[in-house]
Amino acid sequence: MMNMDVMNYLINGYTELSATDKYIFCFKMANMVYMTITTEDQLPYLMILDKASRGQGYALRFKPNKAQKALLMQTATPLCSVDFFDGLVADSKYNRGEICEKLVTEYFGQEWKKDNVPFTKAGDITINGKEYQIKYEKATFINEKSLNKMLGERKPSPYV
């Protein structure tokens, strides 16, 4: 039961601080990389609770299992092959999450450039006036220590 409490704390804290309630999730399945658009009400079904780095408590991650990928596939759009994606990562200074952001941004006809705008200030992309966070599988949303610091004294986690 405590794990559900921690997960709810992380999801609720993250969504309270986030500049957007819309997400584009990217994931691998059957030698393809797919993307799907969703909203924050789907986060409890798509997130996992994982151990964060030492001393950080738990982390909220997008690390979809087969059942979660099946759910995502209901509205998924193919983005590229896994080989193409892996080639871009290998030939780039950017990580998988950044390459995913680049591909999604270009898919929507926009020019991508690396930025460090926090999730509390803006989404990763704006489509038709709406901001979206882009997350690739294995992405960490937030961990307990970071959330506690961001929330300050308002809602300290009883779990760390």
The answer to whether residue 150 sits within a structural domain is no
The answer to whether residue 152 sits within a structural domain is no
The answer to whether residue 157 sits within a structural domain is no
The answer to whether residue 138 sits within a structural domain is yes
Q: What is the pLDDT of residue 38?
A: 95
**Adjacent-strand bridge partners of 22:** 39
The answer to whether residue 159 sits within a structural domain is no
- pLDDT, tens digit only, all 160 positions of the chain: 468 888 999 999 999 999 999 999 999 999 999 999 999 999 999 999 998 888 888 999 999 999 999 999 999 999 999 999 999 999 999 999 999 999 999 999 999 999 889 999 999 999 999 999 999 999 999 999 999 889 885 555 555 5
Q: What is the pLDDT of residue 151?
A: 87
Task: State how many domains the chain has.
Answer: 1
Q: What is the pLDDT of residue 154?
A: 55
The answer to whether residue 156 sits within a structural domain is no
Q: What is the pLDDT of residue 92?
A: 95
Question: Measured at the alpha carbon of residue 81, what is the angle toward residues 78 and 87, in degrees to the nearest 5?
Answer: 135
Domain that holds residue 102: 2-145
- Cβ-based neighbours of 76, under 8 Å, separated by 6 or more: 29, 34, 35, 36
User: Is 0.75 surpassed by the pTM of this model?
Assistant: yes
The answer to whether residue 107 sits within a structural domain is yes
Q: What is the pLDDT of residue 97?
A: 95
From residue 10, give the alpha-carbon distance in Å to each of 60, 82, 107, 112, 147: 7, 31, 31, 29, 7
Taken in order 64, 14, 25, 56, the sign of the CA dihedral is: negative
Q: What is the pLDDT of residue 157?
A: 57
The answer to whether residue 70 sits within a structural domain is yes
